[in-house]
């Protein structure tokens, strides 16, 4: 089950939360039971034919957003409630989704010169109010889908820009390396999505790396939960420590790598390792994280990365991207290597040169 909330967290809430969080426990059971719609595969570009029979491909440098309302049903896409350029509605969830899509689009274009998720101006669609007490948000291959949460543990997911940026990043990954959603490549899929989510939030707020929280989903827990966010990229394993939800299981170093069959081999757990590598790199380089650290990660993703890439293979791709962008002996290359050594993906003290291997 793909979504911002890992299945192990929903299972923990469903199994152990009935006494403290009765509404949320029931919502978690229902969310797990209904799952989510099948993943949809979009084409790289949308083609049309004009009145003369000529093929038309439209590329724009502005977002094309449409927000739908599922009206608490589980059928997609729902009713259109706001389209590009229209004034805000009375529904703040609709407006939050609209703004979050725009913020992600702006980051992609400004930082990476990428025109929407597919690089070719794809329309951005989102559905809000999906299901009843639905405890998740996900990218279904064509659109963002937001549940409203149960109100007891999870609140509305559309209110978190980092969640929106994260889920839309799955669309970018789908159109580039298309990382297999299992084991280390799946953890990279989740981690790179967290990177985009954090960068979207930081770009919107004009935050430097040292001023950023590095939290993913800081808005989705209610005040009843003992925790600050779903994940902490800089300090994995510290996002929450709750009587019912337990302790954030993310490791921040390869020595603590978790081998598991649940969660597609721990994709939401082991993503903490590359998450910390990126945050450390951004802090090492200083300034705005999307300007150098983000560019390196983006070029590694959009280069020749294998769909089944391991952490080491992705690390090598980031070193190569830094070399190509900034030069073999640059401070950026040295900072990338330091970051991967700090999380145990690289264990040798001397600089790696993937091109020489």
87 is catalytic: no
d(CA 321, CA 286): 18
167 is catalytic: yes
3-state secondary structure the chain: CCCCCCHHHHHHHHHHCCCCCHHHHHHHHHHHHHCCCCCCCCCCCCCEECCCCCEECCCCCCCCEEEEECCCCCCCCCEEEEECCCCCCCCHHHHHHHHHHHHHHHHHHHHHCCCCCCCCCCCEEEEECCCCCCCCEEECCCCEEECCCCCCCECCHHHCHHHHHHHHHHHHHHCCCCCCCCHHHHHHHHHHHHHHHHHHHHHHHCCCCCCCCCEECCCCECCCCCECCCEECCCCCCCEEECCCEECCCCCCHHHCCCCCHHHHHCCCCCHHHHHHHHHHHHHHCCCCCCCHHHHHHHHHHCCCCCCCCHHHHHHHHHHHHHHHHCCCCHHHHHHHHHHHHCCCCCCCCCCCHHHC
pLDDT value at residue 48: 55
Backbone angles phi, psi at 304, to 5 degrees: -105, 30
State the burial class of residue 113 (Cβ atoms within 10 Å of its Cβ: 0-12, 13-18, 19+): exposed
Residue that is written with structure tokens 């839309």 in the block:
168
319: number of Cβ within 10 Å: 25
d(CA 240, CA 228): 6
pLDDT value at residue 18: 87
pLDDT value at residue 17: 86
pLDDT value at residue 149: 95
pLDDT value at residue 4: 82
* Catalytic residue of the set 166, 268, 332, 337: 268
CB 188 within 8 Å of CB 196? no
pLDDT value at residue 177: 97
Angle CA 113–119–125, to nearest 5: 115
Question: What Cα–Cα distance (Å) separates residue 253 from each residue in 56, 122, 248, 293, 347?
Answer: 49, 37, 14, 19, 11
Question: pTM to 2 decimals?
Answer: 0.88
Find residue 83's DSSP bridge partners. Answer: 66
Backbone angles phi, psi at 55, to 5 degrees: -75, 135
Q: Which residues of the chain have pLDDT under 70?
A: 1, 35-51, 53-61, 348-357
pLDDT value at residue 38: 54
d(CA 60, CA 122): 9
Question: What Cα–Cα distance (Å) separates residue 82 from each residue in 69, 76, 124, 161, 294?
Answer: 9, 16, 12, 18, 31
pLDDT value at residue 29: 87
pLDDT value at residue 46: 47
Reading the block at residue 216, the tokens are 């993913």
Quick: pLDDT tens for 237-259.
999 999 999 999 999 999 999 99
Question: Which residue, 77, 90, 260, is CA-closest to 186?
Answer: 260
Question: Which residue, 92, 39, 44, is CA-closest to 67?
Answer: 92
Q: What are the structural domains, with CATH classification, of the chain?
A: 7-356 (1.10.390.10)
* Catalytic residue of the set 167, 190, 332, 337: 167
Backbone angles phi, psi at 138, to 5 degrees: -155, 160
Reading the block at residue 183, the tokens are 């084991």
């Amino acid at each position: 089950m793909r979504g911002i909330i890992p299945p192990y967290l929903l299972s923990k809430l469903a199994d152990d939360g009935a006494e403290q969080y009765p509404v949320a426990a029931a919502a978690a059971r229902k969310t797990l039971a209904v799952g989510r719609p099948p993943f949809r595969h979009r084409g790289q570009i949308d083609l049309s034919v004009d009145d003369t029979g000529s093929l038309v491909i439209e590329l724009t440098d502005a977002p094309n957003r449409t927000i739908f309302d599922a009206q608490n049903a589980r059928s997609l896409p729902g009713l259109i409630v706001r389209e590009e350029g229209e004034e805000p509605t009375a529904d703040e969830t609709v407006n939050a989704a609209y703004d979050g899509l725009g913020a992600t689009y702006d980051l992609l274009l400004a930082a990476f010169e990428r025109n929407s998720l597919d690089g070719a101006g794809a329309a951005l669609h989102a559905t809000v109010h999906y299901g009843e007490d639905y405890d998740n948000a996900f990218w279904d291959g064509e659109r963002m889908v937001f549940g409203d949460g149960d109100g007891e543990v999870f609140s509305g997911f559309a209110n978190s820009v980092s969640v929106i940026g994260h889920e839309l990043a799955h669309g970018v990954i789908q159109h580039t390396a298309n990382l297999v959603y299992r084991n280390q490549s799946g953890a990279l899929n989740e981690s790179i999505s967290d990177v985009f989510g954090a960068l979207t939030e930081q770009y919107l707020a004009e935050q430097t790396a040292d001023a950023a929280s590095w939290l993913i989903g800081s808005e989705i827990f209610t005040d009843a939960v003992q925790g600050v966010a779903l994940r902490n990229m800089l300090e994995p394993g510290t996002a929450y420590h709750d009587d019912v939800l337990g302790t954030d299981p993310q490791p921040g170093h390869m020595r603590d790598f978790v081998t598991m069959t649940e969660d597609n081999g721990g994709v939401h757990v082991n993503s903490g390792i590359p998450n910390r590598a990126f945050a450390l790199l951004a802090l090492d380089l200083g300034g705005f994280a999307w300007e150098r650290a983000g560019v390196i990660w983006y070029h590694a993703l959009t280069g020749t990365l294998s769909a089944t890439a391991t952490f080491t293979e992705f690390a090598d791709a980031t070193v190569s991207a830094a070399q190509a962008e900034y030069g073999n002996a640059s401070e950026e290359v040295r900072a990338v290597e330091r970051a991967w050594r700090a999380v145990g993906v690289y264990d040798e003290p001397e600089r790696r040169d993937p091109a020489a291997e």
